[in-house]
Amino acid sequence: MDLGIAGKRALVCASSKGLGRGCAEALAAAGVNLVMNARGAEALEATAADIRAAHGVEVVTVAADITSEAGRAEVLAAAGDVDILVTNAGGPPPGMWSDWERADFIAALDANMLTPIALMKALLPGMMDRGWGRVVNITSQSVKSPIAVLGLSNAARAGLTGYVAGTSRQVAGSGVVINNLLPGIHATDRAVSLDTGAAKAQGLTLEEARDQRAATIPAGRYGTAAEFGATCVFMCSQHAGYMIGQNILLDGGAMNSTM
Ligand code: NAP
């Protein structure tokens, strides 16, 4: 299928590894030039080099913390007029509802709600002026099906989801399409860190903890970054023009619900 976006320019945040990298690779395979970001320069440069070599697209890199105001300013200055925005950042730490203080919530809201909102606020006007744009926010399955120990994530991402529900309908008439992509468990560093915690708590090996979790998923396995990227690039394509303000869940069937 021709996705119709070759030659466009995308900013993919937090993309040196994991799901962000999967999205960057899929966009590059569709001929999209990239602005990629992560805090660590080494992994970012290595990923950018791999993508340039594999797909021959232009890749600009910005090593910066996307959740800080200074980092965002640096990224936005390098990005310029982008047609496609994929927002992403690390997730908040797990914990217990009774331990979280105001400062913990402010940090989670900053990273996983106010950062994507600030990026959209900066880039939507240009997309609207040009009459075309695509935004995919990487959120989490926890928006639809709460994960109690990730209460900070549940709260911040639900706030972003509410913002997107309204804003996506305000900009749709200008050719700008905003949706959220909700990962269930995927085989990335984040999953290794979650499984390491579970293994420690239950006295299991990492492999046992992973197998135990995989057995709870109807698909019987973790998702891959490549599958995630393939869905993301479709949501950034010409074909997604009538998909407005949706929350697309990729969880191997883990959430048991009829709709
Ligand atoms: P990952 O494998 O740990 O990769 C995270 C990527 O983001 C790395 O490239 C990292 O590079 C970059 N990054 C992290 N914090 C950043 C920041 N403040 N500024 C710029 N770059 C940053 O994580 P992932 O599994 O891809 O997860 C991506 C998002 O999806 C997270 O918010 C996670 O909570 C959510 N999620 C993941 C899963 C899953 O199963 N994997 C499930 C549900 C939700 P640097 O460290 O060098 O900055």
Q: In the structure encoding, which two tokens stand for residue 110, read together?
A: 């900053």
* Contacting residues for 254 by C-beta, under 8 A, at least 6 apart: 141, 145, 184, 185, 216, 217, 218
Q: What is the pLDDT of residue 194?
A: 87
Judge if the beta carbon of residue 37 lies within 6 A of ligand 1: yes
Model confidence over 48-65: pLDDT tens digits? 999 999 999 999 999 999
Question: Which segment of 24-33, 100-109, 197-206 scores lowest on mean pLDDT?
Answer: 197-206
- Tell which one of 12, 19, 47 to mutate to probe ligand 1, the residue whose CB is within 8 A of the most ligand atoms: 19
DSSP secondary structure code for residue 222 in this structure? -
* Contacting residues for 89 by C-beta, under 8 A, at least 6 apart: 13, 14, 66, 67, 111, 112, 115
Q: In the structure encoding, which two tokens stand for residue 235, read together?
A: 């949501």
What is the mean predicted confidence (pLDDT) over 7-25?
98
Question: Which segment of 69-78, 110-119, 188-197 scores lowest on mean pLDDT?
Answer: 188-197
Ramachandran bin of 170, using left for φ above 0, alpha for ψ from -120 to 50, beta for the remaining angles: alpha
* pLDDT for residue 115 is more than 90: yes
In order of 85, 189, 226, the CA distances from 219 in angstroms are 30, 20, 16
Model confidence over 26-41: pLDDT tens digits? 999 999 999 999 999 9
> Which atom of ligand 1 lies at the shortest distance from residue 223's CA?
40
Judge if the beta carbon of residue 20 lies within 6 A of ligand 1: yes
Model confidence over 122-178: pLDDT tens digits? 999 999 999 999 999 999 999 999 999 999 999 999 999 999 999 999 999 999 999
